[in-house]
Structure formats: C-alpha cells, structure tokens
Amino acid sequence: MIQWVFERARASGAATVIVATDDDRVLQCARGFGADAVLTASSHGSGTDRVAEVARQRGWADDEVVVNVQGDEPMIEPGLIAEVAAELGKRPAIDIATAVAPVADLAEFLDPNCVKALPAAGGRALYFSRAPVPWPRDAVRAGVPAACAGAWRHIGIYAYRVRGLLQFAASPPTPLESVEKLEQLRALEHGLGIHLVTLAAAPQAGVDTPADLERVRALLANGHQVTPPRS
C-alpha cells in the first residue's frame, strides 16, 4: 500500500516524493522499492509535525510548497495532489491549502466523523467543525436539520508553504483545537490562512481497517482508474 501511495504521489508531478515514518519496517519497505525514505521521531502527535521535521532536516526554503499525503490513501488522485499544491502556489500570502467537497446527504452532515468546513468569499477557510454547520435554521424539524444544501466536508489533504508549516508545528495546541480535536483549528487560531480547494465530489475513502483494504483491492481488481478530479 505504501508503494501504491508513493507511485500516486510521483504521478502528481511532484519534484520530490519522500516517505516519512517512525517505523523501521515501513522505512525498509520504502527503501526496498527505491523510495527516498526518512526515519522521523516517534513522538510526533500528527503528520504535520512529521512533515515539519523533514522540512527542517532538508533545509527547505520558506516559500517552498510541500504536500502531506497520508500513507493509507492508496486511492489518492494524483491530480488532487497537484491541484492543491498549485492553488497554494498561486497565493503567496496564504500558508496552507486543503480540499473540500459537497456534503453528500443528511447522514453525512450529522456525522461528527465527517468534518465540515465553512468557506469565506474567495475560498478562505472561516472554520472547521464536527458539528452540522452551517446550521439551516429555517429547515430544522424537531431539532434536526432537514436539509444540508451548501454544506462542505473537509478532505484531509494539506499543502503547506514551509514557513507556515514550521510556524504551525512550533505553535502550542489551542482551545478550539482541543475541543473539536481538529488540528487545522490551531492554524486558524494562530492567524495562518487556509485556502479551500473545492472538488465536485469527495474522493475514495482511505484504508483504516482490514475491510477497507479489501474494498480497495476489489475496486482495483474491477478496473477502477485513478483519474484527476474536476473542481
């Protein structure tokens, strides 16, 4: 799976693709198929902190753009990686770019595991929440929303400008981050700008369980093609 994700990242046109891990088994696996792989500290609380360690090790310039792709996303679209990086590259005053897609239905809207994003005009992120937001005040029945039109779900891919990445990683956790358990709120609370790249639909889910792995294997066996998203 790591090799599959690595190849998806390479297909995005990235200048450099690095596997960063705190597990020697993953390190040896990645080096075995020819990847540039780095062993990082095991104390990191998030992938962002791990990427920041690599950025410091490699001495990347403040204005370089780096994308964090999780190793359990074998169906990641190469076009999505490229698009998120490109959209951040167009905005030198912005520190982070991520992606959003329309909320599919009410069940997803009410699910706290589906993180909702609130965009401002121009695509700048206002807030992220596990709660159903924006709250449709005029479409609530017995205390439950009956509609979710215009709601966006967060897609967990991040592009960082290195200066913002290092600032984020050096910042302490914040109250909203601690309440919602969403690290991107730390960035907003510390004044870092986040741009939201809008997708027409959410990409395939990642692999969190053995059942997820079988689902992905079945998709690939049936000829599923990984194609660039259209925003």
Cβ proximity of 37 and 19 under 8 Å:
yes
Q: Does residue 219 lie within any of the structural domains? A: no
Q: What is the CATH number of the domain that holds 111?
A: 3.90.550.10
Q: What is residue 230's predicted lDDT score, i.e. its pLDDT?
A: 38
Q: How confident is the model at residue 20 (pLDDT cuts 50, 70, 90)?
A: very high
Q: Does residue 210 lie within any of the structural domains? A: no
Amino acid at 1: M
Q: Does residue 161 lie within any of the structural domains? A: yes
Q: From CA 2, how far away is CA 6, in angstroms rounded?
A: 6
Task: Give residue 28's domain range.
Answer: 2-202
Q: From CA 160, how far away is CA 97, in angstroms rounded?
A: 7
Mean pLDDT along residues 3-17: 94
Q: From CA 18, how far away is CA 37, in angstroms rounded?
A: 6
Q: Does residue 7 lie within any of the structural domains? A: yes
Contacts of 31 (CB under 8 A, 6+ apart): 37
Mean pLDDT along residues 187-193: 95
Cβ proximity of 114 and 103 under 8 Å:
yes
| C-beta neighbour count of 100 within 10 angstroms | 24
Which of 180, 221, 231, 228 shows the shortest CA–CA distance to 77?
Answer: 228
Q: How confident is the model at residue 226 (pLDDT cuts 50, 70, 90)?
A: low
CA of 44: how far to CAs of 24, 48, 106, 170, in Å? 15, 8, 35, 12
Which of 230, 203, 180, 214 shows the shortest CA–CA distance to 8?
Answer: 203
Give the model confidence (pLDDT) of 62-116 as tens digits. 999 999 998 888 888 999 999 999 999 999 999 999 999 999 999 999 999 999 9
Q: Does residue 224 lie within any of the structural domains? A: no
Q: Does residue 129 lie within any of the structural domains? A: yes
SS (H, E, C) 176-222: HHHHHCCCHHHHHHCCCCEEEEECCCCCCCCCCCHHHHHHHHHHHHC
Structural domain total, the chain: 1
Q: From CA 52, how far away is CA 68, in angstroms rounded?
A: 10
Two tokens at 35? 């990847």
Give the model confidence (pLDDT) of 152-173 as tens digits. 999 989 999 999 999 999 999 8
Q: Is the peptide bond before 134 cis (omega within 30 degrees of 0)?
A: yes
Q: From CA 74, how far away is CA 71, in angstroms rounded?
A: 7
Q: Does residue 167 lie within any of the structural domains? A: yes
Q: Does residue 221 lie within any of the structural domains? A: no
